[in-house]
Amino acid sequence: MNDFVFHNPTMVIFGRGRTDEIGKVTQPYGKRVMLLYGQESARKSGLLARVGSSLTAEGIEFIERGGVQPNPLLSFVRESVEIFRAENLNAIVAVGGGSVIDSAKAIAAGVRYAGDVWDFFDAKAQVKEACPIMVVLTLAATASEMNNGCVITNGDTQQKFAASGPPLFPRVSILDPENTFGVPLDHSMYGAVDAIIHVLEAYLTGVSEPTPLQDRLVEGLIPTIREAADAILLDPCDYDARANMMWAASLALNGLTTAGVNDYNFPMHMIEHSLSALYDISHGAGLGIVAPAWMRDECSRAPRKFAHFAERIFGITGKDDTHVALAGIEALENWFRELGVPVRLGEADIPGADIPRIAENAVMLAKRWGMGKVYDAARIEGVLRRAD
């Protein structure tokens, strides 16, 4: 096992009705806060009013800032930084999924930085400070509620880039599974796919020192997420299914499964981020398309790992690793289809003729994430052709 430091400072408050504690846990961090949310779901469900009452009950003033869109934009973050400063705010309460939480993180870093917030995403500056962030999670998917990363799209350059840093861990995240009952089924399933791919990236790309504990964590999370997704499709208000999905998704990218794993990378995310930078597609839907294609492309290079995945997750056995590996990938793809998640570019109305343009975009991120030597445009095009 590799040496590691594991330090995840986010306090998680998990359970039915725990939303009402947001005022109390915010109180030590801010008297005037930005209440950040997405388009309309939080207002329509009454969650926003509930959070507002909890803040008011603790004497906390708040400025509502709604309108974060999925695949959140730099322009919105920049405007929010200005508002935060003009209103003399001191903390952010994010009510939403990954897009809202990621925007909160970018704003939190931006308000404590003299330059342009894009510098953090463009590798021109490191996040050294951020204002405190509290979260009420509404969608189980990204684990942004329990990690220190954020992903923002620069609409001018069509770059969807990430920034991270220790100050970006939320101080407190409230995970109240009932807040996810209203997530539309398509987004619920995209969340399941996202969480599964988060653990699969390191499982399939980490170098081959034995990491049996980390492998088994992954092999426990994936079936849990599968069972929960299947149950949610039958009953979106199944509390236990929503609760299992919520906690599993948080654990899938909070540093736990990768602690001790060597030299892993995120090639599926690298390619997907170009899909959601260039097209109006949800991150999890983009992963449904990219993941089986990347796995088919990669499995001939390391068939044992992929065969191990097929054996452990789908119980597929056989003498020939490549054969078993391909059967496992097909089983995963078929399950994505059952969830209603697209698995081909055309199913998301992305024309095959665009593949060179997508690959060109992805190369920028490949270089940034240290994969530039392996993933040139030709290699990425090859992956995407498998999804055509």
Residue ranges that bind ligand NZQ, judged by CB under 6 A: 38-42, 70-72, 96-100, 102, 138-139, 141-144, 147, 149-151, 179-180, 182-184, 187, 191, 194, 253, 269, 276, 283-284
DSSP state of 341: -
List of residues 6+ apart from 96 with CB closer than 8 A: 36, 37, 38, 41, 42, 68, 136, 137, 138, 139
Nearer to ligand NZQ, 307 or 361 (CB): 361
| Distance (Å) of CA 90 to CA 39, 66, 87, 131, 350 | 23, 18, 9, 7, 42
Residue 148 structure tokens: 């220190």
d(CA 252, CA 197): 9
Minimal distance, residue 272 CB to ligand NZQ, in Å: 8
Nearer to Zn ion, 194 or 298 (CB): 194
Nearer to ligand NZQ, 81 or 183 (CB): 183
Nearer to ligand NZQ, 42 or 387 (CB): 42
Helix (H, G, I), strand (E, B) or coil at 33: strand
Residue ranges of E strands in the chain: 11-14, 32-37, 61-65, 91-96, 133-137, 149-154, 159-164, 172-175
Nearer to Zn ion, 131 or 295 (CB): 295
d(CA 123, CA 313): 37
Residue 177, number of CB atoms within 10 A of its CB = 23
Minimal distance, residue 346 CB to Zn ion, in Å: 22
Q: Which does 33 bind (CB under 5 to 8 A by kind): Zn ion, ligand NZQ, none?
A: none
Pick the binder of Zn ion from 102, 145, 176, 194 (CB under 5 A).
Answer: 194
Residue 308 structure tokens: 């191990």
Q: Which does 132 bind (CB under 5 to 8 A by kind): Zn ion, ligand NZQ, none?
A: none
Minimal distance, residue 187 CB to ligand NZQ, in Å: 4
Minimal distance, residue 283 CB to Zn ion, in Å: 6
Q: Which does 183 bind (CB under 5 to 8 A by kind): Zn ion, ligand NZQ, none?
A: ligand NZQ
Minimal distance, residue 32 CB to Zn ion, in Å: 33
- Are 122 and 157 within 8 A, CB to CB? no
Minimal distance, residue 91 CB to ligand NZQ, in Å: 19
Select from 25-33, 50-58, 108-116, 189-197 the region that touches Zn ion (CB under 5 A). Answer: 189-197
Nearer to ligand NZQ, 325 or 362 (CB): 362
Nearer to ligand NZQ, 144 or 224 (CB): 144
Most distant CA pair in the chain: distance in Å?
Answer: 66
Minimal distance, residue 51 CB to ligand NZQ, in Å: 13
Q: Which does 307 bind (CB under 5 to 8 A by kind): ligand NZQ, Zn ion, none?
A: none
Q: Rounded to 5 degrees, what angle do the CA atoms 314, 316, 318 make? A: 165
Minimal distance, residue 385 CB to ligand NZQ, in Å: 23
Burial 236-259 (b: 16+ CB within 10 A, else e): bebeebbbbbbbbbbbbbbbbbbb
Residue with tokens 């736990």: 256
Binding site for Zn ion (CB under 5 A): 194
